[in-house]
Homo-oligomer: A and B are copies of this chain.
Amino acid sequence: MKRSPKLTKQKIVGAAVELFDSQGFDGTTVRQIACKAGVNVALISYYFKNKKGLLEWVMVDYYEGMFHRLDACRYDSEWESLSELLHSMAENMVRFQCESYRVTRLIQRELSVESMLGREIMSTYLARLKHYFAAIIEEGITEGEFPALEVNGIVIQLLAIISFPYSYPQIIREVFYLEPLDERFVEQMVCYTSDFLRQMLTPINTLR
């Protein structure tokens, strides 16, 4: 029987994500990953070079998937206002993070460490993510749809709100008694994010 390289890669990645997430990147060995995936250590070297290469693959795959979803909002679907586009992008990001919650948490944790890989991911993907949201908000400000807000501030807060429950699912579970992967919580998160955007982007003169 011939082995499928795609399936083997998936098995290795799945095992790595689980171990990195539960034991930490530093606390995990290539041997443990091979053992959990049921493959030879040499196969990991062949596909990913080393443990760092594996983590890089996981991060790149994650962000490529996220941008695929965000691009679908931006370019493929119809939206009537920039506000509607923002809401739809935020919703897709919430759903994407929930679907890949283990990888989300793993990547957020790794991004809190000062490392070369982290910096590469920041300058490639997080800068692009910031640009996606900032460009829409800036356009809305120019066109008068949104008030003249501090764009960096809104984007930082939006990213914070979207990622928190999936970076810290235990806090949501143990402290707020909510189930972060439950569809009802996801719906709530989408509402929270929408409320946040609507409240923050409502022109101030109608507010006070």
Q: Using CB atoms and an 8 Å cutoff, list the residues of chain A in contact with chain B.
A: 22-27, 105, 108-109, 111-114, 118-119, 122-123, 126-127, 130, 150, 152-153, 155-157, 159-161, 163-165, 167-168, 170-172, 174-176, 178, 188, 191-192, 195-196, 199-200, 202, 206-207
Contact = CB atoms under 8 A, between A and B. Distances in A.
Contact of A199 (B26, B112, B207): B207
A64 B150 CA distance: 34
Contact of A168 (B112, B155, B170, B195): B112
Secondary structure call for the A interface: helix
B174 A119 contact: yes
Contacts of A127: 174-175
Nearest to A153: B192
A105 B108 CA distance: 11
A148 B1 CA distance: 63
A152 B178 contact: yes
Contact of A126 (B156, B175, B192, B202): B175
Most chain B C-beta atoms within 10 Å of own C-beta, residue among A24, A113, A168: A168
Given A122-B170, A152-B176, A196-B200, 19 more contacts: A22-B113, A22-B114, A24-B26, A24-B113, A27-B27, A108-B112, A108-B168, A119-B170, A122-B171, A122-B174, A123-B174, A127-B175, A152-B178, A153-B192, A157-B161, A157-B192, A160-B163, A206-B207, A207-B207
A113 to B, nearest CB: 7
Contacts of A170: 111-112, 114, 118-119, 122
A175 B122 contact: yes
A164 to B, nearest CB: 3
A156 B206 CA distance: 27
